[in-house]
């Protein structure tokens, strides 16, 4: 919404299903491509990451935590690919500040969309209210309705599928992290994100809140089937120890278990993705973005970055729309430039997760093979030329108009 507020000819309203605007989860990483997209959007979002206390990771460093090379260094992601890690709630607060309260509506879940003869769109909400608009951008996530409107209720790509992984998170103070994981991993002025490749799982820790907090994450391969609607499970010491029972017994394994148990409400959340490729992200005056369009597993840290890129392209195109009759063409152009890239990342992210959990079909727990396979998987994501991406969208708009 911030991206569109810059343009006086666009009158934007935002509808949120929850009773308040909030974020689940501790932290989110914004890599160079996402930062570049924010810079292209500019306006009120410029500097939002820094104002929210984002911490620059000097690198993402990978180690082995299982197998014959346990505790050995694998590789660093290149410096130019480093990202900023920020607390989700803090970033959301910064992004909401420029938006007028009158434009934000809570407790409003879209349950139906009707195309009107006038060319406009009528939104129906769960509370019985309606709202008439020229266009709809559905950012209502994997549980939302707008994807169903775009694809159809029976489309095989409608619902997300299990990605085959689960993850859990815990926030601890910097002092506690140093006690449990070791001081060597935390160097003021040179903060790194650390990842640990295990046998059927993965550990990660990084720094938030300007260096005051450390986020600890444990992930595992789903060796047993979860129920179709089972999004989370309770996670205690016994379950954690079972998840890493095949791992080599190391200080980092013991320390991470203790760090995770600092979260008194620890839960494992299933990772989902849109495994089936959607044939389109747009229908008439309606489009979808973010998780509603391309839900992906978090293994390449790209979910938030791709949503930011979506916003950048939508702003670029809607800036050119001066009449509602141009909306269909704008959304078609958006679909043409965004769908191939995001669906490639969905597939790449899943494959990356298997490698990072020591289950890559061609890598296993072989450190040399992992070192060869992993670093290059981020290149196409992080080196995206955002100015060129915008030009591509405008060329697509010209072609379909």
pTM metric for this prediction: 0.92
8 Å CB contact between 357 and 165: yes
Q: Of 384, 341, 168, which is closest to residue 260 (Cα–Cα)?
A: 168
Backbone angles phi, psi at 213, to 5 degrees: -130, 150
Burial state string for 161-175 with b = 16 or more CB within 10 A and e = fewer than 16? ebbbbbbbbbbbebe
- Kind and range of the H or E run holding 267: strand 267-273
For helices 303-318 and 386-400, angle between their N-to-C axes, nearest 10 degrees? 50
The pLDDT of residue 325 is 96
What does the block give as tokens for 324?
């509602």
Strand arrangement of the beta sheet that strand 232-234 belongs to = 73-76, 59-64, 192-197, 201-208, 213-221, 161-173, 267-273, 232-234
8 Å CB contact between 400 and 321: no
The pLDDT of residue 56 is 77
What does the block give as tokens for 205?
């820790």
Within 13 Å, how many C-alpha atoms sit on residue 61's CB side? 17
Beta bridge partners of 110: 125
The pLDDT of residue 81 is 57
Beta bridge partners of 76: 61
Other CB atoms within 10 A of residue 60 CB: 24
CA pair distance 25, 82, nearest whole angstrom: 21
Biggest CA pair distance of the chain: 68
The pLDDT of residue 20 is 76
Q: Of 234, 279, 284, which is closest to residue 260 (Cα–Cα)?
A: 234
pLDDT along the chain (401 residues), means of 10: 86 90 70 93 86 80 95 79 78 87 93 97 97 97 96 96 95 96 83 91 88 93 82 94 94 97 96 96 98 96 95 97 97 98 98 97 97 93 96 97 81
The pLDDT of residue 22 is 60
Which domains are present in the chain? 2-24+92-160+275-358+379-400 (3.50.50.60), 56-85+162-273 (3.30.9.30)
CA 335, 27, 216, 204 torsion-angle sign:
positive
């Amino acid at each position: 919404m911030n991206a569109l507020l810059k343009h006086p000819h666009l009158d934007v309203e935002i509808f949120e299903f929850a009773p308040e605007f909030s974020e689940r989860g501790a932290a989110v990483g914004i890599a160079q491509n996402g930062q570049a997209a924010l810079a292209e959007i500019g306006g009120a979002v410029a500097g939002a990451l820094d104002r929210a206390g984002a911490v620059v990771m000097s690198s993402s460093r990978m180690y082995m935590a299982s197998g014959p090379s346990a505790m050995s260094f694998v590789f660093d992601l290149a410096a130019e690919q480093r990202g900023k890690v920020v607390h989700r709630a803090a970033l959301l607060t910064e992004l909401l500040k420029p938006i007028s309260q009158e434009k934000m509506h809570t407790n409003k879940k879209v349950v139906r969309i009707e195309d009107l003869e006038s060319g406009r769109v009528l939104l129906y909400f769960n509370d019985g209210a309606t709202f008439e608009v020229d266009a709809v951008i559905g950012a209502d996530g994997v549980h939302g309705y707008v994807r169903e409107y775009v694809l159809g209720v029976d489309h095989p790509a409608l619902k997300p599928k299990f990605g085959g992984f689960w993850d859990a998170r815990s926030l601890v103070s910097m002092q506690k992290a140093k006690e449990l994981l070791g001081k060597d991993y935390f160097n003021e002025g040179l903060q790194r994100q650390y990842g640990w490749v295990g046998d059927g799982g993965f550990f990660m820790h990084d720094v938030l809140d300007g260096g005051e907090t450390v986020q600890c994450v444990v992930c595992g391969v789903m060796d047993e089937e979860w129920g179709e609607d089972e999004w989370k499970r309770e996670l205690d010491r016994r379950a954690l120890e079972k998840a890493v029972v095949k791992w080599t017994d190391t200080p980092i394994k013991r320390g991470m278990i203790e760090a995770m148990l600092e979260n008194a409400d620890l839960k494992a959340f299933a990772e989902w993705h849109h495994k089936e490729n959607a044939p389109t992200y747009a229908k008439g005056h309606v489009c979808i973005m973010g998780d509603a369009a391309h839900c992906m597993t978090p293994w390449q840290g790209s979910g938030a970055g791709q949503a930011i890129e979506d916003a950048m392209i939508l702003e670029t195109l809607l800036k050119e729309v001066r009449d509602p009759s141009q909306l269909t063409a704008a959304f078609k152009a958006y679909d043409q430039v965004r769908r191939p890239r995001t669906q490639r990342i969905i597939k790449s992210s899943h494959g990356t997760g298997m490698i990072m959990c020591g289950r890559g079909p061609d890598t296993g727990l072989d450190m040399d093979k992992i070192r060869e396979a992993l670093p290059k998987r981020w290149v196409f994501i992080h080196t995206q030329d955002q100015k060129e991406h915008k030009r591509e969208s405008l060329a697509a708009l010209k072609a379909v108009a």
